[in-house]
Amino acid sequence: MNRFPNFRLALPVALGLAVPAAAQSTWYVAADADPAIATGSQSEPFRSIQLAIDVAAPGDTIRLAAGVYDQSNISLQKGLTIAGAGMGQTVIDTGFMGRAIEVGGATVGFTIRDLEIRGCRDSGGAFGGGMSIRGETDGALEHVRFADNEADGAAAGLVVRGGSSTPTQLTIDGCEFIHNRSVAGGGRGAAISVMFNAANVVVRNCLFDGNSASAGFAAMFYTQNDQNVEIVNCTVVNHPATANAYDSLIYIGFGTASISNCVFADNLAIGLSHSTSSTATIDHSALATGMTTNFTDAGGNLEGAVEFVDAPNGDYRLRNGALGFDAGDAANAAMNGITEDIAGNPRVRFATIDMGAYETELGGFDTIIAGCAGSNAIVPQLQPVGGMPSVAGTAFELADLQPMAFAWVALGFTSAGPNGLDLGSYGAPGCFLLPDQPLLAPVATDASGIGQTAVLGFGNDPMFAGVPILVQGLALDIGANQLGFAFSDGCRAVLGY
């Protein structure tokens, strides 16, 4: 479908002849490119993804510009990097007329990243509506979203069909599987199925949301034969019930499986099960009340209600103090190479890693610029009251001021420069004001030179979570300088939730 001619390159490629331009190592593709003048350069990109693959040599990179690519059954059988502009930006959508990509053969060293596969479908009992990976392959999927794909058989999102002589090796990192549907009676593993032959699969930092195998089983994940699977720091939500008696989210048929640091919440498919021909463990995971599992409990698991920052709007960060917050196994995550969450934020904000795909923003407070002293030769001290700043409300305290001084805390979202506004020309050499066009919150100072603002509320609104605010204290002090003010350090306050 939609194979576009290229008058400079298509004939030589078809005849297996060398193409001089193939010396380049990065190839460009754009959904709206003119195929008549395409060379695969940045200025003359291909329109066909398949043509770029055919021309590229192992080790090359193919860059897909933002856009919607109505191209199906793309075959990748060499070790290339295919990189889009980001999930939601670069989209392969076949209009339910075939799968998007098949990776096959002994394809070693491939990476597919930063794109979205949606609206794809296999039919006639085939497997892998969005993507199929088969044979003795070795590679990675990074930040790929599989959304709204369908399959008559298994794996509406992704199927991995292991190698017969050498196990398939696959890492799935930072990916999203959303509303994929296995629709026929044999449908299973709606998001991911690992089938047939040997495979070693690691799934980490992934979101599984609302996938369904309504006429089959294993709405999220299914394995069939000699496979080894690790599922680490994933968030699993909103899966409907399946027809299978286990109402299974995950079913492990053969091989081994381990689940660690995961969050399961708001699912109607409630079972994590494995057959007697397999072994499976679960540790340091948050399980919603009522879930069932015959996995071996390897410790650190929690059961109860899971609270997210804003689940109705797709914000699946754990609320501060919620079940699974600061309760994961950091050693396991580190062993699996996890240093960031699915959104690219650093892991371990507090004592240890959070369960799930997202690391909760605890709030933070750090110094950006140094303050300048008052007439007492001491720089005023600024700090949040009662812990880290929060969207629920935060007060700030100023100390080391003159007794009963008039003082304020200045707040703003931007700065006039890296060091703020230089106040030297205003009579305060060495002093800087960090927030630009600040709001001023008054400070009531007592006889000991200490005071605090009222609680500054942010409506407990999750949209402010993680937002940085620039803050700085200033106090009227006639003897400090010609301007008559002393300034605390200029700080950045990050709002937690």
Query: In tens digits, what is the pLDDT along the chain, a chain of 497 residues?
Result: 443 334 334 433 443 433 444 478 999 999 999 989 999 999 999 999 999 999 999 999 999 999 999 999 999 999 999 999 999 999 999 999 999 999 988 788 999 999 999 999 986 656 788 999 988 899 999 999 999 999 887 788 999 987 777 888 999 999 999 999 987 755 678 899 888 878 899 999 999 999 988 666 677 888 877 789 999 999 999 998 876 655 688 988 888 999 999 999 999 888 898 989 899 999 999 999 989 899 999 999 999 999 988 898 898 988 877 899 989 998 888 888 889 999 998 898 778 999 999 998 767 788 999 999 999 999 999 999 987 788 888 899 999 998 999 999 999 999 988 889 999 999 999 999 999 999 999 998 899 999 999 888 877 777 787 788 999 999 999 999 999 999 999 999 888 77
261 burial type by CB count under 10 A (0-12 exposed, 13-18 middle, 19+ buried):
buried
Domains of the chain: which residue ranges? 10-312, 364-494
At 253, which helix (H) or strand (E)? none
At 51, which helix (H) or strand (E)? helix 49-55
What are the angstrom distances between the C-alpha of 479 and each of 377, 428, 476, 484? 10, 11, 9, 6
Give the class (CATH, top level) of 10-312: mainly beta
pTM, 2 dp: 0.77
CA angle 52, 56, 59 (to 5 degrees): 130
Dihedral angle of Cα 215, 221, 227, 229, to the nearest 10 degrees: -170
What are the angstrom distances between the C-alpha of 299 and each of 218, 250, 286? 24, 19, 11
Residue recorded with tokens 């979570």: 465
Q: 3.30.2350.10, 3.40.630.20, 3.40.630.30, 2.60.40.10: which CATH number matches 364-494?
A: 2.60.40.10
Report residue 382: phi and psi, to 5°.
-115, 135
> Is 103:72 a contact under the CB 8 Å cutoff?
no
> 313-345: string of b/e by CB count within 10 Å (b at 16+)?
eeebbbbbebbbbbbbbbebbeebebeebbeee
Say if strands 421-422 and 255-260 run parallel, antiparallel, or are unpaired: unpaired
Task: Determine the Cα–Cα distance for residues 102 and 291; give it in Å rounded to an integer.
Answer: 35
